[in-house]
Structure 1
Amino acid sequence: MTMREVANCRCEQYLLPGLGAIAMFNRGTLFLLVLGAAIVVPYVMFDEGLSKTARTEWQRFFGGSSAPAANNASMASWFQAAPQGIPQFDAGPQLPPISLEEALRLDISSVWVTSHWSRVNTVAGEGDEMGLRVALVSGTQPTDIAGSLTYYFDQRHQLQRITFTGLTGDESRVITHLMTKFGLRPQPTVVAGLYQAPAGPGKVSQAQVNHLPVVQAAAINARAELAIEIFRPGPITPVSAAKDMTPAKTQQVKSPRIW
């Protein structure tokens, strides 16, 4: 054996145990590092202060890179301490209620309608009419009315027709107003009430009162149905010319159920 071979054997004898110890030391260190990361990283993620600090240090170390910032921002949104409240939307100004006497009249403009209700729906009418539909609740007394009210205007923006379908606890107030204001008169009928008045050729203003299928004693504001249609008065046919006409105008028309 040469001197070089003897030297190599002695080196292997002293170095191999040392390299094994270093390898074991590296494996133990790696295990400790992984264990520490598994404990520390979730703690940093869940703690808002540490998360902000870690994000700052990350950006400073990598020169303000946009990718880590975006990832941390999404992470912060996941772990917010308290949820955001639901936004409150403005429902519009609280307008005073409109009485039935003020609502059921023909000297009303479209501007008046849109300024007295916070919500107005536009609907199509007959021919060239344009309808403005609103929800009317005239009050809380049994003699008040509640339902759907529609104003129909012509091309000159003049109110030509009013329709209403809804409920009331006592129809005496609204019927008295219609008889006084529009000349409606009671007609023979098997329903709760039928009131009519001629309003021009082929037009009849009328109000019909129907019994509800079930009347509850506790529902003092909902004991009868109302179906009202008021036309702007036009030329009235003379009595002499109306003798040969059939009494179709006084024929009762059963209104559809609205509830």
Structure 2
Amino acid sequence: MFPRRLFIPSLLAAVGVPYAMMREDQRQVQTATKSGISKHSSYYNGITSPGVATGIPLAGKPGMELHQLFRFNISPHWVTANWPRVSTIQTSTNLQGLRIPVVTGTQKDALVGVLTYYFDSQDRLVRISFQGHTGDERPLVQYCLKQFELRVTPKLGSGMYAYKRRGRPLSLLRVRRAPVIRASTPNASLEVSLELNHPRLSRELSSKFRNQL
């Protein structure tokens, strides 16, 4: 079997998400160091962050599952403790984004792409955004339906799922077939765009996702 340490970088490159290209705006994005995020930040819901690990792969600790990645009790220190390289993004809404590459595995339903956690000034996680690929969207869709109450929304288009508040989408998942499907990467045949907004701390979708409606 293709060694995992060689497979993951190849997969990241194959689906077009090499780490150097994760930066949307070179003027806004900086490389975050471990000391750049205080270990004594106020952690949302009281989560305790693990100690900073060494020798962690670029795509994070292996074996990360959906319930670990997509939840709102994550702290900035948890992110920097589990990924050796994190990019920071300052948004126009005064949220700080921590952006990381993610590969959840090598199976067909694994996720590979870029994950961004957006925190407010109190280090509370307000928004989670994922852009990437998979070969089987069903585990992610079922998790979002159960955990975040997204629903199939055919009026928004094929492969669209949304959580609505006052009739307007607050969280959104879009799945569509990738424009290029390679036999060598069957777990990258589908494009996935996901934005989850905290139902109490967020008011609306980001402008990027609103433009997809």
Q: Same fold (TM over 0.5)?
A: yes
Give the structure with higher Rg (CA). Answer: 1
Q: Which moved more, 1:133-142 or 1:200-209?
A: 200-209
TM-score (norm 1): 0.53
Letter in 2 for 1:132: L
What residue number does 1:172 align with?
138
Residues 92-134 of structure 1: per-residue CA shift (max 9 Å, x gap): 6125222232101111000111101111111112411101000
Change (3 A) 1:198 1:99: same
Q: In the alignment, what sits opposite 2:70?
A: 104
2:191 is aligned with 1:254 = no
How large is the RMSD of aligned CA atoms in angstroms? 2.8
The equivalent of 1:130 in structure 2 is 96
Partner Cα separation in structure 1 for residue 157 and residue 177 of structure 2:
7
Instruction: Name the counterpart of 1:162.
Output: 128
Moved more, 96-105 or 176-185: 96-105
Match of 1:231 in 2: 197
Q: Residue 126 of structure 2 contacts residue 201 of structure 2 at CA under 8 Å; is this kept in 1?
A: no
**TM-superposed deviation, 1:200:** 7.1
SS in 2 for 1:227: strand
Secondary structure in structure 1 of the residue aligned to 2:173: strand
User: What is residue 48 of structure 2 aligned with on the other side?
Assistant: none
8 Å CA contact 2:56–2:83 kept in 1: the answer is no
Greater shift, 160-169 or 183-192, is seen at: 183-192
Partner of 1:94: 56
Structure 1 stretches of at least 4 aligned residues deviating more than 6 Å after TM superposition: none
Task: For 2:114, give the aligned amino acid.
Answer: S
Q: CA 1:147 to 1:232, structure 2 compared with 1: closer, same or farther past 3 Å?
A: same
User: Which secondary structure does the structure 1 equivalent of 2:154 belong to?
Assistant: coil
CA contact (8 A) 1:201 1:234 kept: no
Equivalent position SS for 1:133: strand
Write out per-residue CA displacement over residues 163-215 of structure 1, whole angstroms, 9 at most, x where no aligned residue. 11001011111111111110000111686510000257966101001211232
> Would you say 1:121 and 2:87 are equivalent positions?
yes
SS in structure 1 at match of 2:182: coil
Q: Is the 8 A contact 1:99 1:139 kept in 2?
A: no
Gaps of 5+ in 1: 1-91, 237-251
How has the CA–CA distance of structure 1 residues 103 and 214 changed in structure 2, closer, same or farther, with 3 Å as cutoff? same
Structure 2: tracts of 5 or more residues without a match: 1-53, 203-209
Amino acid in the other structure paired with 2:115: L
8 Å contact from structure 1 (residues 199, 231) kept in 2: no
Bigger share in helix: 1
Structure 1 pair 254–203 and aligned structure 2 pair: CA distance change class (3 A): closer
Rounded to whole Å, the distance in 1 between the matches of 2:91 and 2:161 is: 23
Counting matched residue pairs gives 151
* Distance in 1 (alpha carbons) for counterparts of 2:55 and 2:84: 7
Residues 132 and 93 from structure 1, CA distance in 2 versus in 1: closer, same or farther, beyond 3 angstroms? same
Residue in structure 2 matching 1:153, options 87, 94, 119: 119
Identity of aligned residues (%): 34
* Alignment partner, residue 21 of structure 2: none
- Preserved contact between residue 118 and residue 126 of structure 2 (Cα < 8 Å): yes
Q: Structure 1 counterpart of 2:174, which letter?
A: Q
Separation in 2, partners of 1:190, 1:218: 32
1:209 matched to 2:171? The reply is no
Q: TM-score, normalised by structure 2?
A: 0.63
Distance in 1, Cα, partners of 2:134 & 2:109:
6
Larger RCO: 1 or 2 (CA < 8 Å, sep 6+): 2
- The question of whether the paired residues in 2 share the 8 Å contact of 1:201 and 1:235 is answered with no
Q: Is the 8 A contact 1:191 1:209 kept in 2?
A: no
In structure 2, do the counterparts of structure 1 residues 107 and 235 end up closer, same or farther at CA, with 3 Å as the change threshold? closer
